[in-house]
Structure 1
């Protein structure tokens, strides 16, 4: 998410209804997401995804979660906010999981990447992005997901931290025998938030940034875990 939120007086918080994307709103939904996306671009198959039946307990369209936000009792039927989330690219493409389909599948059902979240410009700073995120986190936790993550512009660091996210240029996912590094090119940052009590986000000696442990059962770290020469020593 790279939405610019200017430092203006806070308007009154809007009363918002969050719901899965409905077919009549496809064009408005894509137009909203075109304003900003967390990773710079949505997956290229997004248009096709919007035509698919849900493929998982969290999904609303194909493998993705697509939500819209509307102002309650508004005379304008168009959505004022949109969110698109799916499994993270790294759950399929990272070298540590690329040749392990079983592990890739588990990660894709454990971590959720919010690819894009957008609010129409004249409705920003009214709690709409917060409502979309809160609804997404609740849905993900209920479906058994343990972590939400997104990529954002540094201008939004305070916003995400207030919502309980940990942000850094590099986040490491602790695995039983390795650390999976998630690094963004400047100026972008990765933000992560635990959705399950077993997931911890820790700062370890020598680590280049925060470390996520407990993402899958058995992926906990002992108290003395550390990094040496870029390697996780557990």
Structure 2
């Protein structure tokens, strides 16, 4: 795999050791090439999730924003040219991205996708839904996509889990940050988690 130049970003790079993941500032871009022609046939682009600095909870707490930016990674684009699809190229690109993220201590991979791709991402270990909640120390952050798009999340660390909580509007990510776990008996009622 080789590197390609991603678009410029206004976000500064995370602190070490997280910067090791990125190939271009705060972005990772990997490409796949055809063996005989070396023509690019696939690419993946990943970076800091927009929600780590755009969500109101993160805007109110820059420390939380920085912490989430060094624990969650967003895959913004994964593409393979039509002639080369169904050969495992997308799977390989995504797996390599996850491997690099794990090696630099990222704990969660996220992405946004169209509903027709839900099965593909589910086969790769992602949980997909229109609404996913990320449990934080003193709050919960909802990640909701406009229709028809969906969010997909995949734990990259053994302490991170995606759970179903009775009453919650969708899957719940727990363990992303220390102290962000729920007991198995937890419920979601009136916009709050009840242990």
With the length of structure 2 as denominator, give the TM-score of the two structures.
0.91
Q: For 1:48 and 1:160, how far apart are their aligned partners in 2?
A: 27
Aligned length: 190
Secondary structure of residue in 2 paired with 1:206: coil
Structure with the higher strand share, 1 or 2: 2
Q: For 1:119 and 1:147, how far apart are their aligned partners in 2?
A: 23
Q: Which residue number in structure 1 is paired with residue 33 of structure 2?
A: 70
User: CA 1:54/1:110 → structure 2, altered by over 3 Å: closer, same or farther?
Assistant: closer
Q: Residue 54 of structure 1: CA displacement? A: 9.7
Q: For 1:63 and 1:177, how far apart are their aligned partners in 2?
A: 28
Q: Which residue number in structure 1 is paired with residue 22 of structure 2?
A: 59
Equivalent pair of 1:84/1:114 in contact (CA under 8 Å): yes
Q: For 2:53 and 2:167, how far apart are their aligned partners in 1?
A: 27
Q: Which residue number in structure 1 is paired with residue 69 of structure 2?
A: 108
Q: Report matched runs for 1:9-28 at 5 Å.
A: 18-21=1-4, 26=5
Is the radius of gyration larger for structure 1 or structure 2?
1
Which of 164, 176, 179 pairs up with 2:140? 179
Gaps of 5+ in 2: none
Secondary structure of residue in 1 paired with 2:21: coil
Query: CA RMSD of the aligned region, Å?
Result: 1.8
Q: Residue 232 of structure 1: CA displacement? A: 2.2
User: CA 1:195/1:110 → structure 2, altered by over 3 Å: closer, same or farther?
Assistant: same
Q: Deviations over 1:50-100 (max 9, x none)?
A: xxx9971211001001111123xx221221111110010111111111121
User: CA 1:54/1:212 → structure 2, altered by over 3 Å: closer, same or farther?
Assistant: closer
Q: Which residue number in structure 2 is paired with residue 13 of structure 1?
A: none
Q: Report matched runs for 1:112-127 at 5 Å.
A: 112-127=73-88
Equivalent pair of 2:23/2:29 in contact (CA under 8 Å): yes
